[in-house]
Amino acid sequence: MLAASPAARALGVQAGERLSAALALAPSLLLRGRDAALEHATLHELAGWAGRFTPTVSLSPPDTLLLEVRGSLRLFGGLERLLAALREGLAGLGVAARIAVAPTPLAAHWLALARPGSVLRERADWADALDALPLTVAPAGTAVTPATLELLAGVGLRTLGEARRLPREGLARRQAGALLDALARARGERPDPRPVHEPPARHTADIPLPVPVASVEPLLFVTSRLITGLAAWLEGQQAACDRFELQLDHDGGGTTRLEIVSGEPSRDAVRLMLLAREHLSVLELAAPVERVRLGADAPVSRPGHTPDLFGEAAGQREHVTLLVDRLRARLGDAALFRPVPWPDHRPERAFRTLPANARVPSAPPVAARRPCWLVEPPRPLRGVASLRWLAGPERIESGWWDGHDVRREYFVARNRDGALWWVFRDLGGDGGWYLHGYFG
């Protein structure tokens, strides 16, 4: 057995046992075959997530990530805080990890296997701490073979230190040249360059469910896990996304696709999850779901920035955008509208009510003053001689092509009570005066 869950371990089942022995201890044990493809995908997903801590991430398949964090220590406030952030993030992803720190990647790898939690700081004798590690760690990340270990165990060697103290010629005669090379790299006596993981241009992740589910609540939990990985991938690239897709694979075939759209590019996992929750909460499942997939591409560059001095304006803008996004997710794009400026000189036609996600044409700049409050329809005026004229005339002649022709002269005027009015004289009709708006 490769691994055992906490419930299985409580029954006495341990990793490494034979299957027959495990079933003897727990006859109701639920067994699942190892999925190498899923392990590979998970390791690459975690490598993208680790990019939030350092740009130098290397893979050591099948189950190890190596992070060069020297340059990130000041950013995170020191090694202890960085390790705490790593553990918290991994717990949020539902991943159990063994972490160790050392001056070389191979030393950190071996320590994570044999002495998880170890921290070797760089000083003159740091490498001597590796001598106590068992020889069984040597194949990890190296070309050392089990046959070499078996040969060395046959002559009584149990630790790396015992092997290191043997004459090099003796080890070479015993076909242990790979172990000599590994020891030199682990101790920093020989260069150990590692290829840096390049995050993919498109983020994809999926989680198979233990059993098909027919309710939304389990899907919310799985989706939260997937979105946490998406947010970390975006953060590692200093990017954000304004849309992603959830795909629900149904038991027996069939797929439901949900496009989650945000009005503003974001990498905030809480925000993205709120939008996904709105979509899932109104979804009627056609059949039980056996797998949830997430895909996102075309990230928008969004480097970190210094927040606003007081924080109010930016915060209010984000709250409004999030409200609009949630309403769109809950009610649909066709149910949400907004007034926008429109390139038309006629005041009553200088705006349109468009769907919230519609592309808005650019309106020409208007040099003249315009009131915020229009009177519709314009109100006839009598006794305009009592008005005090402040600005005008501004002539508007437009609309002959669509049957709503207007010919007017507009003025800004003040009435007896001190209110500012926007009035016009109708040149194309009865020649009368009309009130068309109030200035605040």
How many Cβ atoms sit within 10 Å of the Cβ of residue 86?
Answer: 18
User: Are 320 and 226 found together in one domain?
Assistant: yes
Helices (H) and strands (E) in the chain, counts: 13, 14
Q: Which residue pairs, CB below 8 angstroms and at least 24 apart, start in 297-306?
A: 297/201, 297/202, 297/203, 298/241, 299/234, 299/237, 299/239, 299/240, 299/241, 300/239, 300/240, 300/241, 300/242, 300/265, 301/238, 301/239, 302/234, 302/238, 302/239, 302/240, 302/265, 302/267, 303/238, 304/238
Q: Which class for 281: exposed (0-12), middle (13-18), buried (19 or more C-beta within 10 A)?
A: exposed
User: Are 278 and 378 found together in one domain?
Assistant: no
pLDDT tens-digit series, residues 297-337: 878 876 555 555 555 444 445 566 666 676 776 776 667 77
Residue 77 has a pLDDT of 93
Task: Judge whether residue 173 has pLDDT over 70.
Answer: no
User: Are 410 and 326 found together in one domain?
Assistant: no
User: Are 318 and 426 found together in one domain?
Assistant: no
Residue 22 included in any domain: no
Q: What pTM does this model have? A: 0.66
Range of weakest confidence among 164-168, 188-192, 302-306, 326-330: 302-306
Residue 281 included in any domain: yes
Q: 411, 240, 257, 250: which is closest to 321 by C-alpha?
A: 240
User: Are 211 and 326 found together in one domain?
Assistant: yes
Domain enclosing residue 391, as ranges? 373-438
**Residue ranges with strand state E in 267-372:** 289-296, 300-301, 337-341, 351-355
Task: Judge whether residue 63 has pLDDT over 50.
Answer: yes
Residue 308 has a pLDDT of 54
Task: Judge whether residue 146 has pLDDT over 60.
Answer: yes
User: In this prediction, what percent of the chain has a pLDDT beyond 90?
Assistant: 31
CATH number of domain containing 263: 3.30.1490.100
**Strand partners for 355:** 337
> Domains in the chain: how many in total?
2
Q: Give the pair of three-digit tokens for residue 78.
A: 């020191």
pLDDT tens-digit series, residues 87-101: 998 887 788 899 999
Question: Does residue 195 or residue 318 have the better pLDDT?
Answer: 195
Question: Does residue 430 or residue 140 have the better pLDDT?
Answer: 140
Residue 356 has a pLDDT of 65
Residue 362 has a pLDDT of 61
Range of weakest confidence among 51-60, 64-73, 167-176, 391-400: 167-176
Mean pLDDT of the chain: 84
Mean pLDDT of 134-161: 90
Residue 69 included in any domain: no
On whether the CB atoms of residues 49 and 229 are closer than 8 A, the answer is yes
Residue 377 included in any domain: yes
Residue 318 has a pLDDT of 56
On whether the CB atoms of residues 188 and 127 are closer than 8 A, the answer is yes
User: Are 321 and 387 found together in one domain?
Assistant: no
Measured distance CA(279)–CA(319) in Å, rounded? 19
Residue 391 included in any domain: yes
On whether the CB atoms of residues 50 and 57 are closer than 8 A, the answer is yes
Residue 387 included in any domain: yes
User: Are 227 and 283 found together in one domain?
Assistant: yes
Q: Which class for 430: exposed (0-12), middle (13-18), buried (19 or more C-beta within 10 A)?
A: exposed
Q: Give the pair of three-digit tokens for residue 185.
A: 């790299």
User: Are 325 and 381 found together in one domain?
Assistant: no
Measured distance CA(439)–CA(44) in Å, rounded? 60
Q: 116, 115, 194: which is closest to 160 by C-alpha?
A: 115
Q: What is the dihedral of CA 271, 277, 279, 285, to 10 degrees?
A: 160
Amino acid, single-letter form, for residue 439:
F
Residue 182 included in any domain: no
Residue 101 has a pLDDT of 96
User: Are 220 and 320 found together in one domain?
Assistant: yes
* Highest-confidence segment of 95-104, 345-354, 380-389: 95-104
pLDDT tens-digit series, residues 196-239: 998 888 888 888 898 899 988 889 989 998 998 888 888 877 88
3-state class (DSSP) for residue 240: strand
User: Are 385 and 287 found together in one domain?
Assistant: no
Measured distance CA(131)–CA(147) in Å, rounded? 21
Residue 258 has a pLDDT of 92
Residue 112 included in any domain: no
Place of tokens 């975006």: 234
User: Are 229 and 319 found together in one domain?
Assistant: yes
The pLDDT confidence band at residue 363, using thresholds 50, 70 and 90, is: low
3-state class (DSSP) for residue 340: strand
Measured distance CA(328)–CA(338) in Å, rounded? 12
User: Are 241 and 296 found together in one domain?
Assistant: yes
Residue 312 has a pLDDT of 47
